[in-house]
Chains A and B, each alone.
Chain A
């Protein structure tokens, strides 16, 4: 059975489709790898006591500042957004803190979350100061204009932090 010899336009379109599909798969795979690797690298180095890029907690005049160094891994810039929402027993938001940082591959930048002084009284430990609140946590790792992303969120009840509702 002899095949039809298709026109140049049809064949060119076929090559374009193949190239587009290959490029799409490669870019998507690379972006997903970058997001996951950035998240994993940051998480591992943050909690490793011997790491040069571990997270730190500092008392400042505005409150308690949590600094997490974000290390860019992969092929594309990655944006990491973290937010925490403090809610009382009636699930009303008392305070909300948020920070976002964009890192290029190989770059290290700090993500800073400051828990306001109204929530953390001087002289009290962080866990006891926050123990009365429901804590909503959201984390997003995105790349390629938010078209590839890993997002996660949960609510931690006061009982998990060792206290009751305020």
Chain B
């Protein structure tokens, strides 16, 4: 198969999963339910879908580039590294419910007023889901993966030169 065709095909999974699918799924949910969930959790759900789509485009381009590049070209490990790091930032973004800087902690501020009048007198409820363990160990795996990609590149380059 032509490597350009391969490159285009390799970009498809990221486009489908991160760009098309979230938009299709959100299309099935009534807009009133989305705005209620957004105000309840203090997170803009349509904004998150847009941000995930940006990650989807970036990952699709990087997938296409790394498939298109020759194994012995510096483009291959460079795009692979960027792809791995972008995927990791996407994981942190999802774990942080739209904030990658919290390193795996989702901080939600639930507004009781959105639940109904019976909750009057109760202040904002802060909820944190801490997944630092996942963020930390996946970070270790990312470092190992990047190292492995460059080791592979070194061997491919040597193999090509022989």
Contacts and interface: CB of A to CB of B under 8 A. Distances in A.
Contacts, number: 97
Contacts of B112: 154
Interface of chain B, main secondary structure? helix
Size class of the B contact interface (CB-based, 8 Å): 20 to 34
Contacts of B151: 6-7, 9-10, 13
Given A10-B155, A13-B144, A17-B144, A153 B133 contact: no
Interface in A141-161: 142, 144, 146-161
Interface in A107-166: 142, 144, 146-161
Nearest to B118: A160
B40 to A, nearest CB: 14
Interface stretch (A27-35, A40-48, A57-65): A27-35
Given A150-B128, A151-B126, A161-B121, 10 more contacts: A9-B151, A28-B133, A31-B133, A142-B130, A146-B132, A148-B132, A154-B123, A157-B121, A158-B121, A159-B121
6 contacts: A7-B155, A28-B133, A146-B130, A148-B130, A148-B133, A153-B126
Interface of A: 4, 6-7, 9-10, 13-14, 16-17, 20-21, 24-25, 27-28, 31-32, 142, 144, 146-161
